[in-house]
């Protein structure tokens, strides 16, 4: 038993070893043939050889499968498909359809009992199958870049019954890549920049090429970069396409732009690979590595002397080889005396220095100016400061051009003084203008009239002397403003004007006068040294600042009762010289007022002083009889007029007493004595103040006898004389005289003296002889008035 079992085991093992030994060389042969077929496809040895190789591989595989399962074929129910993944070469150009592969099932015994069908992507249009043999062919050329594989389904059915022998199975036909696409630069040509003066290896840019071939199969899509043109300035990384500088300190000012021709080649750069090129334009960007420099050391500019302040004189420029903000330049004038006349600014567009005039030029004063200008960069790069100072300087010389200018007056304005009332034709001053140009033309003068007052003056056209044409009055105009025009003879269009102020000086032509009041009073109980009245003066002249009035008593008339004391400030006081005065006394005090003008003017005024009764505090109670008839403030002239009227009334009364024939009281309708008789019936005389208003008489005559001048003592003497003749004395009331006046009328030689009927005025010529025409009584009055008044002696 043991021997039989060992023999059985030995036989079985031998069979297994035999089978294994036969499969090993077969498997190796299969792999060798597959490899050989693939190499033939890559080497493009011909479609027929590829097809033959693939067929042989398929047949070998089929036979191997049959051998492997032949002994067990009778015992299996189902057998799977027999095939590998199919490949088809892209871009097949043969005349026959390209063989792809063969489908086979172990149910097919070669008796044409099995039919094969194909469905899926491209079935029937791109791919076709032999239903009996299972051979698959590609009808058209394929492009892997469009579609890299196709998915199809295979089915084996019984040719007679149509029943499937195998389940439907899915398989893939891959389009096998060939190197038919060269690398491409999708965004070329390229532009890049790098700063000038960059060190070696500075990154510039990176470019990338694309290849449509299969990057997973072979080297068709493996790209290598190289520079065909552009060395030795730049380099490229062959794998990444990164471009860097290969030369240090490239200067933009020497060469600014570079062009590189870059190549991309597939197959790893080997022979037979496809290649393409692109262009890269590289620009060196600017850095501030150059200072500004003047093209020359001295610049000559010219400017007319008539140029206005702020105008441009000229331009200078410092060139900077850099660009943009690195070329911006600042200009300054180096401080100096002659440079103060100018300023300089930078033109932002051209980077030129514009010289600006700061002050007015005058060719006759200075003909040229020289100064230094410095130019420097506004922005500095610290990396290049070691290259030296980034500034430069140059000299600028400005020549002033002579221009025709109007005459120039010696001063900007003139002021002249002239006294009023100066005779016409008097020279009051002169103006002078010169032509400062080289031609030195003569100058002619004229007056420019603005107002009528300009006609008061005249000017000598050659000498420029100004004289008066009319009398000037300071009280009318204190000053005159005239304009003098100076014109060049050789060019009348050029002229200049100057203002002349003429001040009219005051001439002391009016004497000062005593200001009101012109009369005052003194209390009968006044003490010595008491100021009874403060007086002041007025002057019609226009006094200058500091005008002064002086008050004093006349030297030839020394008054022992009163004196004048000058207080200063243009005021004075009337001061008593003793105490105690007689009531009803009247004093006349002459007062001399003198001004401080040249020549000095003075006047003498008389101040009337009455002695009055006063209260203890100095308030006025009553004054003399003369003062009773006068309102407060009535002047001496008014008093004299009233006294004269009274005297005339008395004279009329006395002449009527001697008249023997009396007319009836009422003789005609024109008789106006009714009012007088009515007044006589009222009676009362001086005490009766209601029947006859003396104020009416006083007011009427006070306005018409201001021109009558005389002495109060003379009137008093006349009144006393008339009273003595009437033998009535001072005590008798004068109502009889009023009655005599009442009976006067049409029969009087003098006619009516009533102010009611017609006004009358005594001639102010000083001749009173005409009063005698009125009758005998008026002759006596005329003789008194014509007499020269005697000199008053001081009343002791």
Which residues lie below 8 Å from residue 43, measured CB to CB, with a gap of 6+? Answer: none
Task: Note the Cα 731 to chain centre separation in Å.
Answer: 96
CA–CA gap between residue 292 and residue 272 (Å, rounded):
57
Predicted confidence (pLDDT) per residue in 482-530, tens digit: 999 999 998 889 999 999 999 998 787 788 888 877 788 889 888 888 9
Q: Tell me the CA distances in angstroms from 721 to 16, 68, 95, 644, 724, one per residue in order.
A: 210, 204, 187, 14, 5
- Give the least confident one: 62-76, 132-146, 278-292, 456-470: 62-76
Q: Is the pLDDT of residue 73 over 50?
A: no
Identify the residue with better confidence: 90 or 13.
Answer: 90
Give the 3-state secondary structure of residue 613. strand
Picking from 16, 121, 23, the residue whose alpha carbon sits closest to that of residue 63 is: 23
Q: Is the pLDDT of residue 113 over 50?
A: yes
190-285: CATH superfamily: Cadherins (2.60.40.60)
Q: Tell me the CA distances in angstroms from 745 to 22, 60, 181, 671, one per residue in order.
A: 203, 194, 163, 7
CA–CA gap between residue 126 and residue 781 (Å, rounded):
174
Q: State the span(s) of the chain assigned CATH 2.60.40.60.
A: 85-176, 190-285, 293-401, 408-505, 513-620
How many H helices and E strands in the chain?
A: 9, 40
Q: 513-620: what fold? A: Immunoglobulin-like (2.60.40)
Q: Are 250 and 199 in contact (CB under 8 A)?
A: no
Predicted confidence (pLDDT) per residue in 26-38, tens digit: 444 434 443 443 3
408-505: what CATH class?
mainly beta
Q: Are 237 and 273 in contact (CB under 8 A)?
A: no
pLDDT interval class at 462 (50, 70, 90) = very high
Identify the residue with better confidence: 782 or 764.
Answer: 782
**Among 3.40.430.10, 2.60.40.60, 2.40.40.20, 1.10.3720.10, what is the CATH number of 85-176?**
2.60.40.60
CA–CA gap between residue 495 and residue 515 (Å, rounded):
55
Angle (CA) 483 487 489, round 5°: 155
293-401: what CATH class?
mainly beta
Identify the pLDDT of residue 83: 58
CB atoms within 10 A of CB 251: 14
Residue with tokens 């208003």: 693
Q: Are 290 and 321 in contact (CB under 8 A)?
A: yes
Percent of the chain with pLDDT strictly greater than 90: 29
The contacts found for 155-161 with CB under 8 angstroms, 24 or more apart, are: 155/116, 155/117, 155/119, 156/81, 156/103, 156/105, 156/107, 156/108, 156/114, 156/115, 156/116, 157/114, 157/115, 157/117, 158/113, 158/114, 158/115, 159/112, 159/113, 159/114, 159/115, 160/113
Q: Are 654 and 722 in contact (CB under 8 A)?
A: yes
| Token representation of residue 392 | 């430069």
Q: Tell me the CA distances in angstroms from 542 to 183, 236, 384, 538, 539, one per residue in order.
A: 116, 108, 84, 11, 8
By DSSP bridging, strand 86-89 and strand 169-176 are parallel
By DSSP bridging, strand 149-158 and strand 114-120 are antiparallel
Phi-psi region of 122 (alpha: psi -120 to 50; beta: other; left: phi over 0): left
Q: Tell me the CA distances in angstroms from 514 to 319, 534, 595, one per residue in order.
A: 91, 11, 12
Identify the residue with better confidence: 394 or 273.
Answer: 394
Residue with tokens 């230094």: 372
Identify the residue with better confidence: 425 or 676.
Answer: 425
| Token representation of residue 505 | 């000086």
Identify the residue with better confidence: 273 or 659.
Answer: 273
Q: Are 206 and 239 in contact (CB under 8 A)?
A: no
């Amino acid at each position: 038993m043991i021997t039989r079992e060992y023999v059985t085991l030995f036989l079985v093992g031998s069979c297994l070893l035999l089978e294994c030994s036969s499969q090993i060389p077969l498997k190796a042969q299969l792999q060798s043939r597959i490899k050989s077929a693939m190499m033939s496809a890559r080497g493009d040895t011909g479609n027929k050889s590829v097809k033959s190789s693939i067929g042989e591989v398929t047949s070998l595989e089929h036979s191997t499968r049959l051998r492997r399962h032949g002994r067990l074929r009778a015992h299996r129910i189902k057998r799977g498909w027999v095939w590998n993944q199919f490949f088809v070469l892209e871009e097949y150009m043969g005349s026959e359809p390209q063989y792809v592969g063969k489908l086979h099932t172990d149910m097919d015994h070669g008796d044409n009992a099995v039919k094969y069908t194909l469905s899926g992507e491209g079935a029937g249009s791109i791919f076709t199958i032999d239903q009996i043999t299972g051979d698959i062919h590609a009808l058209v050329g394929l492009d892997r870049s469009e579609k890299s594989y196709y998915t199809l389904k295979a089915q084996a059915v019984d040719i007679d019954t149509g029943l499937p022998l195998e389940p439907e199975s899915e398989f893939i036909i891959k389009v096998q890549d060939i190197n038919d696409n060269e690398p491409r630069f999708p965004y070329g040509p390229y532009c890049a920049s790098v700063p000038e003066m960059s060190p070696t290896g500075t990154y510039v840019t990176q470019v990338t090429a694309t290849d449509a071939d299969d990057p997973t199969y072979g080297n068709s899509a493996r790209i290598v970069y190289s520079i065909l043109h552009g060395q030795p300035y730049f380099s490229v990384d062959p794998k990444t396409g990164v471009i860097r500088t290969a030369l240090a300190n490239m200067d933009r000012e020497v060469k600014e732009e570079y062009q590189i021709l870059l190549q991309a080649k597939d197959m790893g750069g080997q022979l037979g690979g496809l290649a393409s090129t692109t262009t890269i334009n590289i620009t060196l960007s600017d850095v501030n590595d150059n200072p500004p420099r003047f093209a020359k050391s001295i610049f000559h500019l010219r400017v007319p002397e008539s140029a206005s302040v702020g105008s441009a004189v000229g331009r200078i420029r410092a060139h900077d080889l850099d660009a943009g903000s690195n070329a911006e330049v600042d200009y300054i004038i180096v401080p100096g005396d002659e440079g103060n006349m100018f300023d300089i600014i930078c033109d932002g567009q051209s980077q030129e220095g514009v010289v600006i005039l700061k002050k007015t030029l005058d060719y006759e004063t200075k003909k040229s100016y020289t100064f230094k200008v410095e130019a420097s960069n506004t922005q500095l790069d610290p990396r290049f400061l070691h290259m030296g100072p980034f500034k430069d300087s140059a000299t600028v010389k400005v020549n002033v051009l002579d221009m025709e200018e109007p005459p120039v007056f010696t001063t900007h304005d003139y002021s002249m003084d002239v006294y009023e009332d100066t005779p016409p034709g008097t020279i009051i001053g002169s103006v002078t203008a010169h032509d400062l140009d080289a031609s030195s033309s003569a100058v002619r003068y004229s007056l420019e009239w603005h107002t009528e007052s300009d006609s008061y003056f005249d000017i000598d056209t050659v000498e420029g002397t100004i004289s008066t044409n009319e009398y000037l009055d300071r009280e009318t105009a204190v000053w005159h403003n005239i304009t003098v025009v100076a014109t060049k003879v050789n060019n009348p269009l050029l002229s200049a004007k100057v203002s002349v102020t003429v001040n009219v000086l005051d001439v002391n032509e009016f004497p000062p006068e005593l200001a009101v009041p012109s009369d005052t009073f003194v209390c009968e109980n006044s003490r010595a040294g008491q100021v009874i009245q403060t007086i002041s003066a007025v002057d019609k002249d226009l006094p200058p600042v500091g005008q002064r009035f002086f008050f004093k008593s006349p030297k030839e008339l020394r008054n022992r009762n009163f004196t004048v004391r000058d207080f200063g400030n243009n005021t004075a006081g009337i001061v008593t010289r003793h105490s105690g005065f007689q009531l009803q006394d009247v004093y006349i005090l002459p007062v001399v007022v003198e001004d401080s003008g040249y020549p000095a003017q003075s006047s003498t005024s008389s101040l009337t002083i009455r002695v009055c009764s006063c209260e203890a505090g100095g308030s006025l109670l009553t004054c003399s009889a003369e003062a009773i008839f006068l309102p407060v403030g009535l002047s001496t002239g008014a008093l004299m007029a009233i006294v004269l009227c009274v005297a005339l009334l008395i004279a009329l009364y006395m002449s009527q007493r001697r008249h023997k024939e009396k007319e009836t009281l009422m003789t005609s309708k024109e008789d106006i004595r009714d009012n007088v008789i009515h007044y006589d019936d009222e009676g009362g005389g001086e005490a009766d103040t209601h029947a006859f208003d003396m104020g009416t008489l006083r007011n009427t005559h006070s306005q018409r006898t201001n021109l009558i001048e005389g002495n109060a003592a003379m009137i008093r003497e006349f009144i006393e004389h008339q009273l003595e003749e009437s033998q009535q004395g001072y005590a008798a009331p004068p109502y009889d005289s009023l009655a005599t006046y009442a009976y006067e009328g049409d029969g009087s030689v003098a006619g009516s003296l009533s102010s009611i009927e017609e006004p009358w005025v005594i001639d102010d010529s000083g001749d009173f002889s005409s009063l005698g025409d009125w009758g005998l009584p008026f002759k006596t009055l005329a003789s008194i008035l014509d007499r020269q008044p005697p000199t008053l002696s001081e009343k002791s």
